Structure 1
Amino acid sequence: MFSHITVGVSDLTRASVFYDAILQPLGLRQRPVTPDGGPESRCWILPGSTLPRFYAYSPFDRKPATVGNGSMVAFLAPDAEAVRQAHAAGLAAGGADEGAPGPRPHYGDGYYGAYLRDPDGNKIHLVHRGDIV
């Protein structure tokens, strides 16, 4: 359904540390941006896949990065343990807790998730959906 998702960040090095920390437990790996996005961009993808992609960019217009009110990026985890690992890694890498890992039965059977903010304030959701087969 999605080609890619991009968030704006103010410090690409700090963002890279944060997103490496939360995305590695989910199986995503950082790769070069192609076509060349230059030093102001980073990309994560599942190995062996071409899409979808997740990008962190310094804003193209050179204005400060800001978060979208009501915007959130949700990453699918292979299991509840990966949600817990990614959430803990994100906190250790400078993220802020927005909801500890745990079941979210009001979202569906087998739904397990956690919420945090990246160092720039972008809202991130980590989710394992046991209700989807």
Structure 2
Amino acid sequence: MGVLDHIGITVSELDRSLAFYSAALAPLGVKELMRVPGELTGYGDVVGYGAAKPELWLSGGEKTTPHVHIALAAENRAAVDAFHAAALAAGGTDNGGPGIRPHYHPGYYAAFVLDPDGHNIEAVCHRPE
């Protein structure tokens, strides 16, 4: 069992962020799986992304400080590359292009982007190739 079951972040413009995350996460096999309408939450729609179950939840609200860092698992290095390209095409800001980060370990291959609210989103592959 992993450490995290799910994580939720607040974004300032939900529709803008949904477009960004839908495009950026697609290369990782992650998509929108659930939407809980505002009439049930009492404060607005909440949208869950995942591969098998919702693990990343987005909700609308005010821009938050400090921003969060989320590292998402990628099956291979090509998926990391595709995530980075898709995130930039969807309006993300480069925060560290795809490459080896040997200060973590020799096979740590990752890319970093800032989402529309400045949250640092990483895709990482721990496999040697």
State if a TM-score over 0.5 links the two structures.
yes
| Residue of structure 2 in register with 1:65 after alignment | 63
Q: TM-score, normalised by structure 2?
A: 0.85
Residue type at the aligned position of 2:9: V
Q: CA RMSD in A?
A: 1.6
Residue equivalent to 2:101: 104
Corresponding position of 1:50:
53
Q: Distance in 2 between matches of 1:99 and 1:67?
A: 21
Counterpart of 2:27 in structure 1 is: 25
Conserved in 1, the CA contact under 8 Å of 2:110 and 2:122? yes
1:34-84: CA deviations, max 9, x gaps? xx34352211111xx336x1011113xxxx222425x30000101111011
Aligned mates of 2:53, 2:89 — CA distance in 1? 29
- Count of residue pairs the alignment pairs up: 121
Could you list the runs of 5+ residues in structure 2 that have no partner in the other structure?
39-43
2 CA distance for matches of 1:100 and 1:119?
Answer: 17
SS of the equivalent of 1:100 reads coil
User: What pairs up with 1:56-95 in 2 under 5 angstroms?
Assistant: 56-59=58-61, 64-69=62-67, 71-95=68-92
State the percentage of identical aligned residues: 37
